[in-house]
Amino acid sequence: MSDDQVAFLHELPERQLLEVEGLGRILFCHVTPRNDFEIVTPATPEEQLRVILAGVDADDVVVGHAHMQDDRRVESVRFVNAGSVGMPYEDESGAYWALPGPEVELRRTAYDVAALGDHELPHASRAEATAYFESIAGE
C-alpha cells in the first residue's frame, strides 16, 4: 500500500454507527465495541460475548478481526464477523465478506489464488485459527 493509502486508513474512525434500511442501527468496528484488542471467535462462549456487548446501543455489531465468519444473536444484538477478503481463516480459499440487508448475508467469492504471485499469505484452517486465538484470548 502507498503511504497515502496507509494515512487514509489511519484517519478512519475506530467505530462507525450507521442506520441500514431493514436492519436498523449497525455498529461497525474492527474487533469489539469495547476495544481493538479483545479476541472473539466462533468458539467464544455466549456469556463472554454478552459481557462484551453489554451497553451497546445498536441492533447489529459487525466486526472482522478474527478473519472467520460468525453470525449469532446475544439477547437483542446480532453479532457478525464479516470474515476477511485477503486473509481468511476458513477451510476454502476465497474472499469472505458480509452483505447487510434486510438480512445479513455471509458470502464467499472465489478468486484465483495463484494470481497473487509471490504474495503468499499466511493460512490456517478455521479450526486451527480458532484454537490459536482462543488460546491467547485470556492473555
pLDDT tens-digit profile of 15-63? 999 998 888 999 999 999 999 889 999 999 999 999 999 999 999 999 9
Each domain of the chain, given as residue ranges in start order, spans 3-136
Question: pTM of the entire structure?
Answer: 0.86
- Euclidean distance between CA atoms 91 and 71, whole angstroms: 17
Range 3-136: architecture per CATH: 4-Layer Sandwich (3.60)
Q: Per-residue pLDDT tens for 65-93?
A: 899 999 999 999 999 999 998 889 999 98
Whole-number Cα distances in Å, 110 to 36, 59, 60, 120, 135? 29, 30, 27, 16, 30
